[in-house]
Amino acid sequence: SKNRDMNTIYIYFIHIVFNTTWSIVFFGMHQILLALVILLILIFLIIILILRFKRVNMLSYYLMIPYLFGVAMP
């Protein structure tokens, strides 16, 4: 539905904010614990996006999986 699609878009942009914030907090501010919290939130948001993308577009779904591994694994 249109409302669910808009929510997915909002989640995507919130995920972008957390992705950018992580770099600033980790590399710029050297706040390791806060960066870890942001990273966990980011991983959670990516998993939500993967589940939502699966319903919309399988290519988007498959492309998010390596992204999740890239974020979650050092």
Residues in the chain: 74
Let me know: does 56 contact 9? Beta carbons within 8 Å: no
Q: Average pLDDT, whole number, for the chain?
A: 95
pTM of the model: 0.92
pLDDT over 90 at 5, yes or no: no
Confidence tier at 69 by pLDDT (50, 70, 90): very high
Q: Which residues of 23-61 are buried (b: 16+ CB within 10 A; e: fewer)?
A: eebbeeeeeeeebeebbeebeebbebbbebbeeeeeeeb
pLDDT higher than threshold 80 for residue 54: yes
Phi, psi of 57 (to 5 degrees): -150, 115
Cβ pair 14, 45 in contact under 8 A: yes
pLDDT of 61 strictly over 80: yes
